[in-house]
Amino acid sequence: MHWLLLPIGSSDWGCGMGFLSVLSMAHKWIAERTSTGDIVIDATAGGGVDTYTLAELVGPKGTVYAFDIQQEALDRTAERLSALAGDNKLPALKLVLENHARMAEEVDPSVIGQVSAVMFNLGYLPGSSDLTVITEPASTLAALDSAITVLRPGGIVTCVLYPGHPGGAEEAAAVEAWAAQLPQSLAQAVIYRQPQRHAAPYLIALEKRPLSVNGYRAG
Ligand code: SAH
């Protein structure tokens, strides 16, 4: 079974264990920090699975941006989300055919500092006509920096990493190193990974530091 096809809430990592899959864990952490009406971003629209989950979370009063550099991915995403339109459950949906490294420039300026969640699912688009289109470390790191910029205090970035394909391990290592050097006054980072399965996808998440009640950063 393909990782993207795992049912939401499934406890299957692909090896029959009792822990949540990386994608389900990403969705859970995001759901805990997102309410209806929020603004959220899918940085790698791909087949639209994450975009769909984000759309359900924020509902018709919310806003979902979905970035991809392939029109094919945005078409697949629009098609998947059309199911919500019939039920009047579709949020404001902004499909952006741009490199996600330009995230902070492409969103409406009023959105900066207001976004609840940004999701990344790295690698290539399964089933794409061009499997050479793949996320790359330099633009991924620029996009992650951009994601932190657009987040509201207490908002979350999730990033699913794929060390199993060529270049994927290097990209995953670059993201881990980037997360490790982030000042704790800016964000807290966590890793969700099976240490016995080095090629399996794993998850890094960042929570932007919440503001304390008096406006100073907590802790
Ligand atoms: N690897 C995942 C799916 C990832 S889809 C899985 O196997 O389930 C990743 C998507 O990111 C693709 O649709 C690809 O076109 C897109 N992408 C690649 N580089 C990008 C960039 N710089 N900006 C925005 N999207 C990008």
pLDDT tier at 9, thresholds 50, 70, 90: very low
Interval between CA 211 and ligand 1 midpoint (Å): 32
pLDDT of amino acid 130: 86
- What is the spatial distance between Cα 189 and Cα 211, in angstroms, rounded to a whole number? 17
**Is residue 1's pLDDT more than 50?**
no
The encoded tokens of residue 66 equal 């979905």
pLDDT tier at 12, thresholds 50, 70, 90: very low
- What is the spatial distance between Cα 58 and Cα 36, in angstroms, rounded to a whole number? 4
142 lines ligand 1 (CB under 6 A): no
70 lines ligand 1 (CB under 6 A): yes
**Cα distances (angstroms) measured from residue 10 to each of 17, 32, 104, 167:** 10, 17, 33, 28
Identity at 14, one-letter amino acid code:
G
Environment class of residue 69 by beta-carbon count within 10 Å: exposed (0-12), middle (13-18) or buried (19+)?
middle
Measured from the CA of 123, which atom of ligand 1 is nearest?
1
pLDDT of amino acid 8: 43
**Is residue 3's pLDDT more than 80?**
no
**Is residue 184's pLDDT more than 70?**
yes
What does the pLDDT look like over 150-178, one tens digit per residue?
A: 999 999 999 999 999 999 999 999 999 99
Please state the pTM of the whole predicted model: 0.91
Q: What is the residue extent of each domain of the chain? A: 14-208
pLDDT of amino acid 213: 62
Half-sphere exposure of 201 (CA within 13 A, CB side): 25
**Is residue 44's pLDDT more than 90?**
yes
Closest residue by CA, ligand 1 atom 13: 46
Options 3.30.413.10, 3.40.50.2020, 3.40.50.150, 3.30.310.40; which CATH number does 14-208 get?
Answer: 3.40.50.150
What does the pLDDT look like over 46-103, one tens digit per residue?
A: 999 999 999 999 999 999 999 999 999 999 999 999 999 988 999 999 999 999 999 9
pLDDT tier at 16, thresholds 50, 70, 90: low
pLDDT of amino acid 203: 98
Identity at 48, one-letter amino acid code:
G
Question: Looking at per-residue confidence, does 181 or 17 come out higher?
Answer: 181
What does the pLDDT look like over 95-146, one tens digit per residue?
A: 999 999 999 999 999 999 999 999 999 999 988 888 889 999 999 999 999 9
Identity at 189, one-letter amino acid code:
A
69 lines ligand 1 (CB under 6 A): yes
